[in-house]
Amino acid sequence: MTQKRSQDEFELMVKDMSNGDYEVLGNYVDALTKIYMKCNVCGYKFQMRPSRFLEGGRCKMCKKLTRLGLFDFVVSRKPLIRILVVDDDSKILSFCKNILVNAEYSVTTCLHGEQAIKLYEKNPFDLILLNLFMPDIDGIQMLVRLNNKFQNFNAITMSSTNSYPAEFKLLFNSTKMVGATDVLEKPFTEAQLLAKVKEIFAKKKSKKKQ
């Protein structure tokens, strides 16, 4: 019997059961369909039936590296940059996730601000991309709450400014005053998204060298 779940439900289940060690790369259909997953420990991408994962399936590459005595060497040489994307539009989440995963980032998506805060508090991310306006709490509230708790907090605020009065653009840019590292206007292209993300990590790297 197949176990029907929504995409979001299955992705959350994977994160909870693996403590964030695995990311879902493919669209989940049911428990018998093979999907692509990514191991956030060794970086290996693999296929596994959701039902097999629920039965305790684990990454074969991690096991192989451990058996060969190479696990610590590989993991220490390939630290994964973790990014949290928060938006109430599932299409934006999928768009961002596909681009960033293909660029070898570890990506977690979230539809709700409160849930995103809990995820961040449990295990802080290297970067958070968040929509300015969302149903439960808005991006400014999220920035204030997280920036008050965490040092070296990196965030990109996303929003469309074309459909709002000119004054809104000032509000959008002012999010930098409450914790945002940069802003990204919607709609944006793959190149624009990657450029913003890479710029933030390049600046972060240069600060460490100073």
pTM passes above 0.75: no
Q: Which fold has domain 82-209?
A: Rossmann fold (3.40.50)
Q: In what order do the strands lie in the sheet containing 45-48?
A: 22-24, 35-39, 45-48
Mean pLDDT in residue range 110-137: 89
Range picked from 144-148, 170-174, 201-205 for highest mean pLDDT: 144-148
Q: Does residue 78 carry a pLDDT above 60? A: no
Rg of the chain taking only CA atoms, in angstroms: 18
Q: Does residue 151 carry a pLDDT above 80? A: no
If 0-12 CB within 10 Å is exposed, 13-18 middle and 19+ buried, where does residue 72 land?
Answer: exposed
Give Cα 78 to chain centroid, integer Å. Answer: 18
Torsion of the alpha carbons at 16, 89, 171 and 126, rounded to the nearest 10: 30
User: Any idea which of 17-31, 48-62, 115-129, 162-176 has the lowest mean pLDDT?
Assistant: 162-176
123 Cβ contact list (under 8 Å, min separation 6): 20, 82
The answer to whether 153 and 146 have CB atoms below 8 angstroms apart is: yes
Q: Let me know the angle formed at the C-alpha of 178 by 177 and 181, rounded to the nearest 5 degrees.
A: 75
Q: Which residue has the tokens 């970067």?
A: 127
Q: Would you place residue 2 in the very low, low, confident or very high pLDDT band (cuts 50, 70, 90)?
A: very low
- What distance in Å separates the CA atoms of residue 82 and residue 66, rounded to the nearest whole number? 23
Task: Tell which residue, 166, 149, 39, has the closest CA to residue 104.
Answer: 39
Q: Which helix (H) or strand (E) holds 85?
A: strand 82-86
Per-residue pLDDT, 205: 65
Q: Taking the alpha carbons of 157, 123, 42, 3 in that order, is the dihedral positive or negative?
A: negative
- What distance in Å separates the CA atoms of residue 205 and residue 93, rounded to the nearest whole number? 26
What are the residue ranges of CATH 3.40.50.2300 in the chain?
82-209
Per-residue pLDDT, 210: 54
Report residue 39: phi and psi, to 5°.
Answer: -85, 120
Mean pLDDT in residue range 137-149: 87
Per-residue pLDDT, 1: 36
